[in-house]
Amino acid sequence: MSDVFDYIRGFAVTFNKLFEERVTGDYRHDGGGEKSPKPDRLHGRHVLNRYEDGMEKCIGCELCAGVCPAQCIYVRGADNTPDNPVSPGERYGYVYEINYLRCIHCDLCVEACPTEAITESKLFEFSFTNRNDAIYTKAELVVGDDGRPQKLPWEDWRTGEDLATSGWMRATASSGNADYENKVAWSGELGYGVRHPEVGQHDDETGGDE
């Protein structure tokens, strides 16, 4: 008998929710409507960045692929040619693929990258009509000549979703040296320059909190 009353109480909760004020916003399929503001460190679609001189940051080290718990990243490096180098180092990312049917946006690839090549934008709205579109290639992930992410037909980019990406956030040096705590130590990015510090961090020139 107690089980019956438990079922009734459960249905009563559901029934009462029908008459409560709705908490969802207006979200139309035509691109209009209202959307909640996104936090600065939202984990969305990845981008492969370039230095301010146009060189690619990825050196094909495969650390991002090794740390990925979902095994959604595939990387193969190749040696740079002296006459036409792709990156400043000896090697570059010749093949780079991310399978978004597997990606869980944990951001571990961003933390593992030694050159800050891979970051995550705040774009999280994209749908695919076939499985091949869900596997992003290097040609789709590398930023354009203006440093901005490439906007593919199935992606719904909104203003500011390429700003304040999580990859350049560094509270300490990767070695854990306390001398670098709260200092800006990341490199500039094509189209953006050197990112501003987070709250509690300061740059080397001013020495003060931003």
Residue count of the chain, please give it.
Answer: 210
pLDDT at position 60 is 92
pLDDT at position 173 is 45
Average pLDDT, the chain: 80
**CA–CA distances in Å: residue 199 to residues 42, 94, 179, 202:** 17, 36, 18, 8
48's enclosing H/E stretch is strand 46-48
Residue partners of 78: CB distance under 8 A and separation at least 6? 60, 91, 92, 94
More confident residue, 21 or 90: 90
Residue 96 pLDDT exceeds 70 = yes
Contact yes or no for 190/143 (Cβ under 8 A): yes
pTM of the model: 0.73
Contact yes or no for 106/75 (Cβ under 8 A): no
pLDDT at position 89 is 83
- Bridge partners for 93 per DSSP: 77
More confident residue, 167 or 185: 185
**Helix H segments across 18-155?**
63-67, 108-112, 138-141
pLDDT at position 3 is 77
- Bridge partners for 73 per DSSP: 98
Give me the domains of the chain, ranges plus CATH numbers: 46-150 (3.30.70.3270), 168-210 (no CATH)
More confident residue, 199 or 186: 186
pLDDT tens profile 146-158: 889 999 888 888 8
Name the phi and psi angles at 122, rounded to 5: -95, 10
* Residue 175 CB-half CA count within 13 A: 5
pLDDT tens profile 11-47: 888 888 888 887 666 655 545 556 677 877 788 899 9
Average pLDDT, integer, range 175-183: 56
Coil, strand or helix: which one is 81?
A: coil
